[in-house]
Amino acid sequence: MAEKNHEDQYSALAANIKKNQVFKKSTKVSWVCRNCGYVHEGEEAIDECPACAHARAHFELLGENY
């Protein structure tokens, strides 16, 4: 079960990489800086966090995992 879940996650990530959609989505979403927690609302992650100056690579989609 866990291996199938991992396969699905990595397949989705690979598809997003091929379509250049890792840091860009077709709808407005919440991006969170993994370094400081700053949240940006928009279709794509910003180039640099205004709160801590970390690069775009530190942003990920904000998930509500509760």
In a domain, 8, yes or no: no
**Which of 4, 66, 34 has the alpha carbon at shortest distance from 23?**
34
Q: What's the pTM value of the predicted model, to 2 decimals?
A: 0.74
Distance from the first to the final alpha carbon of the chain: 21
Per-residue pLDDT of the chain (66 residues; tens, 9 = 90+): 778 888 988 898 888 888 888 888 889 999 999 999 999 999 999 999 999 999 999 999 998 766
Check: CB of residue 56 under 8 Å from CB of residue 45: yes
CATH at residue 52: 2.20.28.10
Q: What pLDDT score was predicted for residue 12?
A: 82
Range of the domain at 34: 23-66
**Which of 64, 11, 59 has the alpha carbon at shortest distance from 36?**
59
**Phi (first) and psi of residue 42, to 5 degrees:** 170, 175
